[in-house]
Chains A and B, each alone.
Chain A
Amino acid sequence: MHELALATEIVKNVSKLAHENKALKVTELRLELGVMSGIEQEAFDFCFDMAAKNTILEGAKLSVNKIPLEVRCQKCFSLSSPEVFNIVCEKCKSNDVVIIKGKELKILNMEVQ
């Protein structure tokens, strides 16, 4: 359950930015979460609502752009999108792959009023 620690951190940072931008209210917050980020989205949604209570983010819509795993094979150099529990090249089945996408854990932007 590190989702609560992260949600608290996000609310703290975003609140500060929102106030600096003279916002009255944050209406939407957009995040990018990779499937290898270690974040369980349902738990995160729940924690975000709790962390946002009594802040400028209360009631804000949380939009999560989920990034699937993308790997580059070091043997055949093809790009593929395997499951996280089988990180191999989908073309030649080699496990000598480099993760290109899927580890994202990022705040993209916010919509404010």
Chain B
Amino acid sequence: MCRDCGCEAANDKAFFNHHHHDHDHDHHHHHEIKTIDIEQAILAKNDALAEKNREYFNRHNIKVFNIISSPGSGKTLLLEKTLKHLPNISIIIGDQEKDFDAKRIAASGGRTIQLNTYSSCHLNAEMINKELDNFITPDIDLLIIENVGNLVCPAAFDLGEHAKVAVLSTPEGEEKPVKYPVLFHTADLIIINKMDLAPILEWNQDKCLDYIRKVNAKAQIIKLSAKTEEGLDSWINYLSNKNMEARVH
């Protein structure tokens, strides 16, 4: 409520309404210009919720991975194949619309839920927070979040995960890491998928690894083919590593 005139202009919904501040009484507002310090992180609300999520995951010993890539890099097939080795993992699938991917995961016997972001291009901490004690229950050990296919926006939103996994596939070319440095810099693990296509595409591995190291000196790199399953064991070992330290932001 506006403290000066008592109208409802100042509630949060004011932004969505076509509110015109017209009244039949006089106002006595201050008209001088003044500066008000705010000093607030724009993502403060998301980061606080992500921290709550992380506390929940740590309290219940749930390891959480946030997988980010462009659409079509093979995330869903990778998860279908992962389920053959680790059938008890839980998977959250983020997409703007529809539940094709969740149906694929469910058909492979996986415990899964589809979250639709509609007009939004990324999952945020609030969407994951709403699943605590719903889809995400204290008894699960491993949660994989397949983010909306997008190399830009999901990188900005911490979900409370322990590790960010960026997937890059050979048909996308060698230079994706330097074109999208924010994501590839933040990733703890970088998977290069569709390695079976590398010879056909004349995809240059050294060049790609060099580009990765230009933006991220430390990320672990796993080369695999979800289709042929070559290299899949490294990914399974990575997920099964119980000693992984909690990610510190």
Residues of chain A at the chain B interface (Cβ within 8 Å): 1-2, 5-6, 8-24, 27, 31, 36-39, 51, 54-56, 84-88, 95-97, 99, 105-113
Measured between alpha carbons, how far is A22 from B6 in the docked complex, in Å?
11
Residues of chain B at the chain A interface (Cβ within 8 Å): 2-4, 9-10, 12, 14-15, 17-19, 27, 29-43, 45, 120-122, 124, 152-153, 155-157, 178-179, 181-182, 185, 213-217
Q: A10-B42, A109-B39 are in contact. List 17 more A-B contacts (CB 8 A).
A: A2-B121, A2-B122, A8-B15, A9-B45, A11-B15, A18-B36, A20-B3, A24-B31, A37-B182, A38-B156, A51-B15, A54-B14, A54-B15, A54-B18, A88-B214, A99-B185, A111-B34
CB-based nearest B residue for A3: B153
Cross-chain pairs A/B with CB under 8 angstroms, 24 sampled: A2-B156, A9-B42, A10-B42, A12-B12, A12-B15, A15-B14, A17-B36, A22-B4, A22-B29, A31-B42, A54-B17, A84-B181, A86-B215, A87-B214, A87-B216, A105-B43, A106-B40, A107-B40, A109-B37, A109-B39, A110-B36, A113-B30, A113-B31, A113-B32
Residues of A within 8 A of B178 (CB): 85-86
Determine whether the beta carbon of A6 is less than 8 Å from that of B42: yes
CB-based nearest A residue for B181: A84
